[in-house]
Amino acid sequence: MILIAGLGNPGSRYAGNRHNIGFMAAEAIARRHGLGPWRRRFQGETADGMIGEERAVVLKPLTYMNESGRSVGEAMRFYNLGPGDVVVLHDELDLPPGKIRVKTGGGHAGHNGLRSIHAHIGPDFHRVRLGIGHPGNKDLVHFYVLHDFAKSDGEWLEPLLDAIADAAPALARREFASFQNKVHLALNPEPEKPPRVPGGGAAESS
């Protein structure tokens, strides 16, 4: 079993914020794999079911970002899981928009949601870092993350969420390198090779 927690802030005021990309990814996974219905528990909302062949619980903490660890810790203990059974989806300023990296353990790099989870379950959980880009000035970070994605961001955001949902079975199996690679390939498909012709050469285009 795996616990997948998407981080964000509750309520319509925050729904479209860059800080809420973790919520968006969690919802995309639940929707794609028919999890649910969503129900209130563990100081959050959960949707559970099967992702591929693995049982999964998707969690959206409703404690606000800074107290995410209270919800994640409660759910983890209820299911008798360890930190290694927890995957956290969160926004990442230090990655370009639309890029994704999976990491296990490490510091929280000033992310308040991760800081709270560290405090409640320790550092040894898995993180799916979802790039939102950096505003270029640290004084602008608070304003940047708590404001909505621009309309133009939809060009990369929607394909990213779709790719994450499609690749979620690998995430549920804890095949993190495979998950990351599947998302990358979905967003950056390899160009088609020209057809081969007799004699071993490639066909010429007219």
pLDDT in tens, 121-171: 999 999 999 999 999 999 999 999 999 999 999 999 999 999 999 999 999
Residue 204 has pLDDT above 60, yes or no: no
In the predicted structure, residue 19 carries a pLDDT above the cut 80: yes
Nearest to 29 by CA among 172, 182, 177: 172
State the pLDDT at residue 155.
95
The arithmetic mean of pLDDT across residues 37-45, rounded, is 97
The CATH number of domain 2-187 is 3.40.605.10: no
> Domain residues of the chain, as ranges?
2-187
> What pLDDT was estimated at residue 206?
43
Evaluate if residue 202 carries a pLDDT over 60. Answer: no
Rounded-to-integer distance, Cα 169 and Cα 61, Å: 22
Report whether pLDDT(36) > 50.
Answer: yes
Helix 176-187 with 154-172: angle, nearest 10 deg: 150
CA–CA gap between residue 7 and residue 178 (Å, rounded): 23
CA 170 to chain CA centroid, nearest Å: 13
Model confidence over 59-115: pLDDT tens digits?
999 999 999 999 999 999 999 999 999 999 999 999 999 999 999 998 888 899 999
Asked if residues 54 and 169 have their Cβ atoms less than 8 Å apart, the reply is: yes
**Residues annotated as catalytic (active site), given as ranges:** 19
What's the pLDDT band for 192 if we cut at 50, 70, 90?
A: confident
Measured between alpha carbons, how far apart are the two ends of the chain, in Å? 54
Question: What is the mean pLDDT of the segment spanning 39-60?
Answer: 97
